[in-house]
Structure 1
Amino acid sequence: MDRRDTASHCGRSSASARGQGRGRGWRGREEGRGRGRGAAPSPPPTSYSTSSFPAAGSATAADTTGGDAPPIVGSCPDMCPARERAQRERLRDLALFERVGGDPARTSTSLAVKKFEIVHDFIFDRTRSVRQDLSMQNIVNEQAIHIYEDVRLASSYQDSDASSMCYLNMEQLMKCLLSLFDMYDAIHKNNSQSSKEAEYYSFYVLLHLGCKIPKMVDSLSLWYGHLPASIVRSKEMIFARSILRCYHIGNFKRFFCTIAAEATDLQLRLLEPFLNEARVRALMYFNHSGYKLQRHPLTHLSEILMIEELELEALCRLCGLEISENEDTKAFAPKQASFCIPGSIPQSNGIYISRESQR
């Protein structure tokens, strides 16, 4: 080999080395410019034997996915992250039970928890996706029923005073109930039955309380006729029908006493948005009945309606009732023309049972 051949060989080797060093992006730009000038495409690269090299990524996979990999460990020991806790203190966005000494701008690691609305929205969206997957795949079995009962329906209803959110939550809850009822009918053909069937049928009856949702298409009397006798005679269904009857006839003392004594956790959870509506309706009856000189003490009314006296006072003022105080006793006189049913009723804190009523 003469010097020209040697120089030519060295030039090709150095050019090849420079091309390999510049990488794939550089080669792509050079090929693009060559094609743009009408040059012939470059020949394919020479294939090299890779038998002496290990497979790509084999060493990395062995190092990172071995059996001795440490488990994942949580890094936040608090119920509420420190950054969110500091932000909520600065914005005075602390719940009542998260405050230290009642200060809305001060909390602690043992009191502060992750804000419920954020967590609930996360669970709400994903459980809705689970329901959609079950519906699209037409999965009907005991596991699907368990998912609807213990996961989806338990998180369907969200605390919200906004009418749009309340409507969406109720719409999702009704869709879940209708899908669940279809599953119940399907498993009945196989002589099977869910242990929670009566309780979830009672939810449909309880949803007829108040005015937060539109009226159902069929009347309840016709709907009862399509139910099995064992469901209609169950204690859960008897409870729901009794609550609905007491609400419509105005027997609010029995209404709240029955809820406090017999409601399950999920039934009480479903009834909470309607409790203050029932209390406002009871205040309307108290205001229209009696004589002007016969005042209604708030202490007595709070025991009947099972609500704290301060919360009842705020509800009375929201309805336009004038409260008078005499010897540490607050009361309102009936026949007040200023009474009106508010358009937006605040969310109830549940059922309050005083020590006097327990005695």
Structure 2
Amino acid sequence: MEILAIHLQPLLLKSFAERCRPRKCGHQMCGLSQTRSVRQDLIMQNIVNDKAINMFEKIVKFHVISHHKLRSSCSSSSISPLHYLNLEQLTKALTSLYNLYEANRSSKPIHEKEAEFRSFYVLLHLDSNGQPVGESLSLWFRHVPSPIIKSKEMWFARQALRYFQMGNYRRFLSTVAAEASYLQYCIIEPYIDEVRSLALCCIHNCCYKLHPYPLGHLSKVLMMEESDVELFCNAYGLQTCIDEVGNKLLPTKQTTFCRPKGGLQNYSFLGFQQLGRQIEL
């Protein structure tokens, strides 16, 4: 057990210390192999105690942060296979972790970080068109302890999923900004721009043509810096203008509106840096 921890800790320390720095995808592939090896060794040795839970939680953290970093550091041609492999390992690590929680239930009814780590499973169901991540949520919730269901972490995950499925972009983005932990945001991040796209489409099509939409207001709705909002609008073929007092505006009902074919660049999310400071080893 101690030997496995010695092999795992340097990898996790390096990953967390460099979480805000771009890294090559080859380094990420190496990390996936190492965490898979440690996870398999733990399962083969049938280690079921608090130390094993702690190690699996760190393995899950690595894959969750990789979920975020792969989007920002890999080219579009290499991100898909790596993202698939990482998501596969994340799902397996979560399954093993949940089994450990249950195996230790008699000694500790609810583990300290269990609510947040359980919430990841719900958030991974945001992509209904993606690869399956396990049994359906309706079946999965039957096995989740009541205190976990009532926790703030699970409340957030269920609300985020609900708002996403309803297309309620205002409540989704504001809830993420107010309630998400750093790790929860890392899972949600791939869907942020999808929701922003929906918001921009609705605002552009529904607002009055004679009343351009202020970019300052739009930045609060989309949870973006105003400079990024302008670039985001431009990516959709929309032009901005400036009024007589210098405020930037988005004229609505433009006929040039179209969805980007080559994908979007990574845009900021207001409050993300503050979220990043929450992470602990």
Per the alignment, residue 248 of structure 2 pairs with 330
Q: As a proportion of its length, which structure holds more helix?
A: 2
Per the alignment, residue 70 of structure 2 pairs with 160
Whole-angstrom CA distance in 1 between matches of 2:31 and 2:232: 32
For structure 1, the residue ranges without an aligned partner over 5 or more in a row are 1-112, 354-359
| Deviation per residue, 1:184-214 (Å, 9 max, x gap) | 1211255544211111110111112246833
Q: Is the 8 A contact 2:32 2:86 kept in 1?
A: no
Offset at 1:308? Answer: 0.6
% identical aligned pairs: 41
Q: Is the 8 A contact 1:288 1:334 kept in 2?
A: yes
Per the alignment, residue 259 of structure 2 pairs with 341
TM-score (norm 1): 0.59
Q: Is the 8 A contact 1:277 1:345 kept in 2?
A: no
| Secondary structure of 1:188's aligned partner | coil
How many residues align? The count is: 241
Question: Which amino acid is the alignment partner of residue 237 of structure 2?
Answer: G
Deviates more, 1:320-329 or 1:276-285: 320-329
Instruction: Give the alignment of 1:121-136 within 5 angstroms.
Output: 121-136=29-44
| Secondary structure of 2:104's aligned partner | helix
Larger gyration radius, structure 1 or structure 2: 1
Question: Which amino acid is the alignment partner of residue 123 of structure 2?
Answer: L
Deviates more, 1:294-303 or 1:320-329: 320-329
2:224 paired with 1:307: yes
2:174 paired with 1:266: no
Whole-angstrom CA distance in 2 between matches of 1:273 and 1:179: 25
Per the alignment, residue 225 of structure 1 pairs with 142
Whole-angstrom CA distance in 2 between matches of 1:348 and 1:168: 24
Q: Is the 8 A contact 2:32 2:89 kept in 1?
A: no
Q: Is the 8 A contact 2:35 2:59 kept in 1?
A: yes
Which is bigger in relative contact order (C-alpha 8 A, separation at least 6)?
A: 2
Structural RMSD (CA): 2.8
Question: Which amino acid is the alignment partner of residue 173 of structure 1?
Answer: L
Offset at 1:323? Answer: 2.6
Question: Which amino acid is the alignment partner of residue 104 of structure 2?
Answer: I
Whole-angstrom CA distance in 2 between matches of 1:211 and 1:325: 40
Residues 115 and 290 of structure 1, relative CA distance in 2, 3 Å threshold = closer
Residues 233 and 140 of structure 1, relative CA distance in 2, 3 Å threshold = same
Per the alignment, residue 146 of structure 1 pairs with 54
| Deviation per residue, 1:237-286 (Å, 9 max, x gap) | 01111112222223333323322222222222332332222211211221
Residues 212 and 148 of structure 1, relative CA distance in 2, 3 Å threshold = farther
Residues 210 and 115 of structure 1, relative CA distance in 2, 3 Å threshold = closer
Q: Is the 8 A contact 1:273 1:347 kept in 2?
A: no
Whole-angstrom CA distance in 2 between matches of 1:233 and 1:301: 33
Offset at 1:348? Answer: 3.8
Question: Which amino acid is the alignment partner of residue 134 of structure 1?
Answer: L
2:205 paired with 1:205: no
Instruction: Give the alignment of 1:113-128 within 5 angstroms.
Output: 116-117=23-24, 120-128=28-36
Per the alignment, residue 61 of structure 1 pairs with none
For structure 2, the residue ranges without an aligned partner over 5 or more in a row are 1-19, 72-78, 273-281
